Amino acid sequence: MAKYDVIIGLEVHVQVRTNTKMFCSCPNKFGQEPNSMVCPVCMGFPGVMPYPNREAIRRTVMAGLMCSCEIAKFSKFDRKSYFYPDMPKNYQISQYDLPLCGKGKVHVCGKGFSGQEISDKLIGITRIHLEEDVGKLNHFAGYSGIDFNRAGVPLMEIVSEPEMNTADEAYAYLTALKQIMQYADISDCDMEKGQMRCDVNISLKLAGVKEFGTKVEIKNLNSFRSAHRSIEHEIVRQAEVLDNGGKIFQETRGWTDERGETYILRSKESAHDYRYFPEPDLLPMTFTDADIAAIKKELPELPEQKRERFVATLGLTPYDAQVLTLDKTLSDYFDEGAKQAKSPKILANWIITELLRELNDRHIPFEKNPIPVSHLVELVELVSGGTITGKSAKEVFSEMFAGGKAPKQIVTEKGLVQISDDSEIEKFVVMAIEQNPLQVKQYKEGKTTVLQFFVGQVMKLSKGKANPQIVNRLLKEKLDKI
């Protein structure tokens, strides 16, 4: 048993996908010319006032519902004060004591970052609140610039309960959150674009002890990988300190990917007093049961529900269902194909073993997958209907992947239609027997496994087109007669 229990809680920031920013009508767009998406409101000019984006509020409530959160009947915005150049007003409009969403939970399962299977678990959500993003500082030689395009972008903060115990669990939780946000079209969660950012709270305590140890916060982790690595690193660091009789201090730490280390940013003593108070420029928000019910109606199927459905009604294994629901686009792809396919299970196999492998090998994201699902279904049907052999199918698949052609067209062009005519196949069978007397002898001596060798020979001679069942039957007949 490990000496220490690890307690991990995550604070995840997710940008809400909207047309306009949280409190003004500037576009909410990434990757534009610095300070081209700004106005007096998001620049904090004198005299401006915020006017709230209803869509951002609705989507945050939606995110809460997706995580089984309690939705507040009464909620409000607050001002969080601190001075920093990336913050136009030197206060951030955020939510303090009455967030839009209260307690909820997220189901995690599958594999962690290390590839190890983790056991199914519910991670508690403490709250989800809505706030405005800040600008971005760019440092140059001798000076810094501020890009306010991001300032005012609607930003959700999702706070988990301290209920994760391993880096793998934290990774799985992040994956599950991302999945949920994508499923509900709340955010693209593209971490490279800063659409999803993560802070980790982590503490160690002696195994079995009830009381939590002192927690350390690791700020601004901008990939799942660095979240995972920083947790692993921090566990080791804290354990070493404790092992040597040292003490962990409550502090905020940063993470460097290059060195693979956390480092101190600020101690508790220099922690900010944010002086929260209710935002007087905005009215409190109220939600009736009917309001919440209306949003609930628009909720998409949760990844978890989808997994269960794939297993229960489409006959997939839990593992297949897990893989196919990891990504919203992928699950939609499969869902669409399953409607057309006679056997969704076989389709799932094709997607997982062929399509995903191919995409993975070539580092192509699923969104750029070149094969329309109708083509893949067609291919599966060609095999199961006996038109082509499994062997030909692989060839067709490669062709489909490379050229985007429909499988039937490829089969015709390449003449890959399966040969199911006894007399034609018999010619190849006879040829194979004549060419391999040694193996015939072995067969006759009782080594029946040689049959597979003959099947291979026939397939080779028929360029993979011979129907394997017929080949088997004819070979047996012929050999047994000799």
Partner 1 sequence: MSIRIENLTIHESARLLEGKKISSVELCKAYLERAKNLEPKVKAFLKLNEEEILSQAQASDRRRAESKKLSPYDGIPVAVKDNITVKGQTCTCASKILQKVVSPYDATVIRKLKGKGFVLFGRTNMDEFAMGSSCENSAYQKTANPWNVGCVPGGSSGGSAASVAAGEVTAALGSDTGGSIRQPASLCGVVGFKPTYGRISRYGLIAFASSLDQIGPITRDVEDAAILTDVMYGRDSKDATSLPDTNEKFSEGLDSLKDLKGIKIGLPKECFEIEGLDTGVRKSMEKSIEVFKSLGAEMVQVSLPHSKYAVATYYVIATAEASANLARFDGIRYGNRVKADSLLETYLETRGAGFGDEVKRRIILGTFVLSSGYYDAYYTKGQKVRTLIRRDFQEAYKKCDVILTPVSPTTAFKFGEKSDPLQMYLADIFTISTNLAGNCGISVPADIHANGLPVGLQLVGPDMGEKQLLRISHIFEKNRAIKEFIPGI
User: Residues interacting with partner 1, by CB under 8 A?
Assistant: 40, 43-52, 79, 81, 83, 85, 88-91, 146, 273, 275-277, 280-283
Distance CA 311, CA 302 (A): 14
Instruction: For residue 58, give the nearest of 239, 186, 153 by alpha carbon.
Output: 186
Residues 6 or more apart in contact with residue 435 via CB below 8 angstroms: 457
- Give CA angle at 19 (18, 25), nearest 5°: 115
Place of tokens 């079995």: 208
> Judged by CB, which is closer to partner 1: 48, or 242?
48
> Judged by CB, which is closer to partner 1: 52, or 407?
52
Please report how close the Cβ of residue 21 comes to partner 1 at its closest, in angstroms. 14
Please report how close the Cβ of residue 44 comes to partner 1 at its closest, in angstroms. 5
Please report how close the Cβ of residue 87 comes to partner 1 at its closest, in angstroms. 9
> Judged by CB, which is closer to partner 1: 92, or 195?
92
Distance CA 284, CA 77 (A): 7
> Judged by CB, which is closer to partner 1: 44, or 300?
44
> Judged by CB, which is closer to partner 1: 92, or 462?
92
Residues 6 or more apart in contact with residue 46 via CB below 8 angstroms: none
Please report how close the Cβ of residue 17 comes to partner 1 at its closest, in angstroms. 22
> Judged by CB, which is closer to partner 1: 53, or 387?
53
> Judged by CB, which is closer to partner 1: 93, or 380?
93
User: Which two tokens mark 146?
Assistant: 């501020």
Please report how close the Cβ of residue 264 comes to partner 1 at its closest, in angstroms. 19
> Judged by CB, which is closer to partner 1: 148, or 310?
148
Residues 6 or more apart in contact with residue 3 via CB below 8 angstroms: 206, 207, 239, 243
Please report how close the Cβ of residue 52 comes to partner 1 at its closest, in angstroms. 6
Please report how close the Cβ of residue 11 comes to partner 1 at its closest, in angstroms. 20
Find out whether 21 and 152 touch, Cβ atoms under 8 Å. yes
> Judged by CB, which is closer to partner 1: 15, or 53?
53
> Judged by CB, which is closer to partner 1: 31, or 46?
46
- Antiparallel, parallel or unpaired: β 74-75 and 285-286: antiparallel
Please report how close the Cβ of residue 150 comes to partner 1 at its closest, in angstroms. 15
Please report how close the Cβ of residue 158 comes to partner 1 at its closest, in angstroms. 24
> Judged by CB, which is closer to partner 1: 135, or 464?
135
> Judged by CB, which is closer to partner 1: 273, or 480?
273
Please report how close the Cβ of residue 82 comes to partner 1 at its closest, in angstroms. 9
Please report how close the Cβ of residue 285 comes to partner 1 at its closest, in angstroms. 11
Instruction: For residue 231, give the nearest of 243, 244, 221 by alpha carbon.
Output: 221
Rama region for 8: left / alpha / beta (φ>0; ψ in -120 to 50; rest): beta
Please report how close the Cβ of residue 274 comes to partner 1 at its closest, in angstroms. 8
